[in-house]
Amino acid sequence: MKRKGNVRRAAVVGMVAFSIAGPATAADTITVASWGGTYQEAQTKAFFKPTAEALGITIKEDTTNGLDDVRLQVTGNAVKWDITELGADECARGSKEGLFEKLDYSVIDKSGINPKLVHDDWVGISYTSVVLVYRTDVFGDKGPKTWADFWDVEKFPGRRALSGSQPTETLSVAALAKGIPIDKVYPVDIEGALQSVDKIRNHVDAWWTSGAQAMQLVKDGEVDMASIWNGRAGTLRKEGAPISFSFDQGVLTADCMVIPKGSKNKDIAMKALAKFVSPDLQASLPLYVDNGPANEKAFETGKIPQERIKDINSSPENIGKQVLQDPQFWRDNLVEATEKFNNLIQQ
Amino acid sequence: MSAVSAGHEHAGRIDGTLNAAALRADTRRQALGFLALLSPGLFLVFAVIIVPVGWLFWLSLFDETGTLSAANYARFFEQASYIKTFMTTFKVAFVVTTACVLLGYPLAYLLSQLPRRAASICLVFVILPFWTSVLVRTYAWLVILQRKGLVNSWLIDHGLISQPLQLANNFTGVVIGMIHIMLPFLVLPLYASMKSIDIDCLRAGMNLGASPAATFRQVFLPLSLPGLASGVVIVFVLCLGFFVTPALMGGGKVIMWAMRMEQAASLYSNWGAGAALGVVLLAVTLSLLGLFRWLLGARAAGVWSSR
């Protein structure tokens, strides 16, 4: 708590001192885009302000809708952002399309980041988990614990929701429901996973398309169980909703950061990105939000309190309970899988 | 009237040959003047409608590798889900439009028959929802219709049902939400056209021995049809491109055309995938407008000749 206050104060002092020092030249300013909301607020505190202060630059912020925004800027020769966040499968696809600048790993220290998330032109930044949440006012503590339970409509009657906008996550979950062990889910047997979705689809009351919607469905009791992002589930718990979830059989999806091709401040962006993925700043992220750090060395910094570590999805004890989504796999299979999935869930 | 035109003709025969050239020049000058006045508007239409739509069409002809192909259109036939989406879109538009007509026509009729003061107060209630965001109204419907929402809890509390009805996150929810949003688009043009119906026509009908019902059916209804038709066209076309309500109320099961466009833009690396969806929607909408125009034209001609 004390540290947090100091960081904030230092950041404010830094900003004030900086603005007194005079207007920054264009080269000293970079624009970073992320998802907005509480997640980006946490990033501002954990990553952006400390980096701006350490490098003596100004970091402007914007929000993104994802890969199509980057594609629009790069193909339209109107690159506004120097760094942007994306989902890992979007990074893999954008990389294939050549939308990003190469990263310089002599500037960015990649040690501590899962090699699956370290690539020529993109690097992992944080983790979100897809978890199974159920309402304790309906099931007590005897709710569905595994995805096989979720699929068992006789043993666990009730209304259900799954993600409709993230077929990668729902298909991973569907594979787990078939009893496939967590280390065998990838590469996903798409046809098998679709058959699994086919079994449950008539019992799914809503296919959510945003984190906020998933939260609303559970909070209002519209559904009794759902797949949901751990950050949203954590918020529900904090708000006092009668829910239970765990990281068992969760699906870990990484977020990544890239420098869009044609960024005018590539070099500074590279230095800033190096800061963002450093263990020190990575360790600050879970102090503000439930998204775990991508750099496992963050857990060795001592910045994260012990009792907090057990709630973080990418901590050494939790990471082994979950499936790690493979971005490269979805790069090559997303389009086909999504079209088939969409066909299946339509009424 | 005939005397005046005869006078003109007469004058024309005498002076026309003398002034013909001057009159033609005058007409030409006037036409050029109108064109000059129109040109900013025409330029705007060209720049913001013709060019982008042409570009959209152009983009839809290229596949992911940037080569000319019909792949973006072929997809609609290869993937069953596109046909499904197309059918859903029309089903929703048809149901919503029909419901709007059934609800809106009596409402507009009532408004047109009320004294002016009362009518304007009632009109405010029609227009009021217009000033509230579609998003807010859709969420409000969610609160009312969901499993533990107002309707279901009221029905259960009064013992009318034992299990909550599934009113949201399905087709029913989408239709209810959209009717609410579309109704003013039907009522307003209809009201305007009903207001302009000459009351003397109705009196004349009654005077000639028609019952009130017959007067309504034979005089009022045909005269109100052009207003009804424009309302129907507006509602139907707006429904075809609707996004927010089906996205929030459909529970992911009711996928409409506009939602597919959004999906296509993020799923495919070429804009052509989404552009082709746009081209198809535009083509269908234009042909529907043409059809309505033709039907309305025939109708209007029928009314005219029966007079």
Per-residue pLDDT, B18: 73
Per-residue pLDDT, A10: 45
Per-residue pLDDT, A127: 95
Who's near A263: CB < 8 A, 6+ residues apart? A79, A81, A82, A83, A101, A269
Buried b (16+ CB within 10 A) or exposed e, A199-218: ebbeebbbbbbebebbbbbb
Judgement on whether residues A97 and A134 belong to the same structural domain of the protein: no
Q: What are phi and psi of A207, to 5 degrees?
A: -105, 105
- Chain A and chain B share a number of CB contacts under 8 A equal to 65
Judgement on whether residues A179 and A32 belong to the same structural domain of the protein: no
Angle between helix B272-306 and B257-267 (nearest 10) = 160
A158: nearest Cα among A193, A208, A200: A200
Within 10 angstroms of residue A237's Cβ, the number of other Cβ atoms is 16
Q: Is residue A318 part of a domain?
A: no
Q: Tokens for A197, please give them.
A: 């979705």
Burial class of A146 by CB neighbour count within 10 A (0 to 12, 13 to 18, 19+) = middle
Within 10 angstroms of residue B3's Cβ, the number of other Cβ atoms is 7
**B85 to chain A: nearest residue by CA?**
A346
Judgement on whether residues A229 and A295 belong to the same structural domain of the protein: no
Judgement on whether residues A205 and A338 belong to the same structural domain of the protein: yes
Judgement on whether residues A274 and A332 belong to the same structural domain of the protein: no
Structural domains of chain B ordered from first start: 86-254 (1.10.3720.10)
CB contact A222 to B (< 8 Å): yes
**A214 to chain B: nearest residue by CA?**
B251
Q: Is residue A121 part of a domain?
A: yes
Angle between helix B80-113 and B257-267 (nearest 10) = 140
Residues of chain B scoring pLDDT < 50: 1-7, 9, 11-12, 302-307
Distance CA B71, CA B272 (A): 9
Hey, which residues 263-302 in chain B have their CB within 8 Å of chain A? 263, 265-269
Q: Is residue A205 part of a domain?
A: yes
Judgement on whether residues A114 and A138 belong to the same structural domain of the protein: no
Judgement on whether residues A332 and A245 belong to the same structural domain of the protein: yes
Per-residue pLDDT, B299: 59
Judgement on whether residues A266 and A224 belong to the same structural domain of the protein: no
Q: Is residue A222 part of a domain?
A: yes
Tally the domains of chain A. 2
CB contact A219 to B (< 8 Å): no
Which among B171, B253, B266 has CB closest to A66?
B266
ipTM score assigned to the predicted complex: 0.77
B260 min Cα distance to partner chain A (Å): 10
Contact B147 A221 (CB under 8 A): yes
Q: Is residue A199 part of a domain?
A: yes
Which among A67, A335, A346 has CB closest to B84?
A346
Judgement on whether residues A171 and A300 belong to the same structural domain of the protein: no
Q: Is residue A235 part of a domain?
A: yes
Judgement on whether residues A284 and A227 belong to the same structural domain of the protein: no
Judgement on whether residues A210 and A336 belong to the same structural domain of the protein: yes
Per-residue pLDDT, B15: 57
CB contact A229 to B (< 8 Å): no
CATH code assigned at A100: 3.40.190.10
CB contact B79 to A (< 8 Å): yes
Distance CA B232, CA A132 (A): 45
Which among A67, A205, A338 has CB closest to B251?
A205
Domain that includes residue A282, residue range: 2-125+255-312
Hey, which residues 91-130 in chain A have their CB within 8 Å of chain B? 93, 97
Q: Is residue A317 part of a domain?
A: no
Judgement on whether residues A159 and A246 belong to the same structural domain of the protein: yes
Residues of chain A scoring pLDDT < 70: 1-27, 347
Which residue's structure tokens are 């969409």?
A342
- Chain A residues with CB under 8 Å of B253 CB are 206-207, 345-347
The share of chain B scoring above pLDDT 70, in percent, equals: 91
**B146 to chain A: nearest residue by CA?**
A222
pTM of the entire predicted model: 0.82
